[in-house]
Amino acid sequence: MARQSSYPWWGYPSRNGGWPGYQATDLPPIESPITVTDALTDEALSALKGNNAELFSAVYQAYAGQVLGYLTAKGVSDPEAVTQDVFLAVLPRLDDLSGGVSGLRTFIFSVAHARMVDEHRKHSRAPEHHEFEPERDTRESSSAEAEAMMRLAPLEVMALLDHLGDDQREVLTLRIVAGLTVEQVAEIMGKTAGAVKQLQRRALITLREHSAVKEYVSS
């Protein structure tokens, strides 16, 4: 399908390809349509390299909803504003990233994780819980634990995660809400893949004791 314009909603590049003077208000609302068809492939990402406007548009469409869901589940007080901050930080680094879509996804959620930690430190208080909105979840793969959690009401999910330790809760949030692989979670949290698997296993053992998930998570 032909695009109406070579440049999306946030403006035009400078002559050297940069994006000067962007503010969070320059980005579109997260409520913009985000669907599974917007998922990036390595081939599409490679084809868009060198076209900053189209590249950022595709990246934002593919991942903004997932980042918002992650920040919401982690109790960030203004997840939409922080989501915009995340993508403003990602923007100038897009041309330098390697590792294809997997590397891009890991980098985006590394930035989101760091912003989440900064927000909680800044407010110096317990995280607030906001409802996770499943319609914004564009993950392409599923898992037993993801299906078990997503069949529960949002408030039930938040209540269940509260039974976990900080690291276990972070692992499940990144694995289920953000849809990251074990290796990507390990890189973001600064742990080995084995440690992440152990945290996930222990978290699921804890959750299996709750009747709400016994029906869906196999032993």
pLDDT-derived band at 156 (thresholds 50, 70, 90) equals low
CB atoms within 10 A of CB 198: 15
Query: How does pLDDT run across 26-75, given as a tens digit for each residue?
Result: 555 554 333 333 478 888 888 888 777 788 888 888 888 889 888 888 88
User: 22 with 91: CB under 8 angstroms?
Assistant: yes
What pLDDT score was predicted for residue 157? 60
User: 79 with 173: CB under 8 angstroms?
Assistant: no
In the chain, the percentage of residues whose pLDDT exceeds 70 is 60
Predicted TM-score (pTM) of this structure: 0.57
One-letter amino acid identity for 53? A
Lowest mean pLDDT among 18-22, 82-86, 95-99, 104-108: 18-22
User: 215 with 204: CB under 8 angstroms?
Assistant: no
All domains of the chain in start order, with CATH: 1-8+26-134 (no CATH), 141-219 (1.10.10.10)
Q: Which residue has the tokens 């041309």?
A: 95
Q: Where are the alpha helices (DSSP H) in 74-140?
A: 79-90, 100-123
Q: How far apart are CA 66 and CA 72, in angstroms?
A: 10
CA 206 to chain centroid: 24
User: 75 with 130: CB under 8 angstroms?
Assistant: yes
User: 63 with 105: CB under 8 angstroms?
Assistant: yes
Burial class (CB in 10 A: 0-12, 13-18, 19+), 195: middle
Query: How does pLDDT run across 126-152, given as a tens digit for each residue?
Result: 555 554 444 444 444 444 555 555 555
One-letter amino acid identity for 197? K
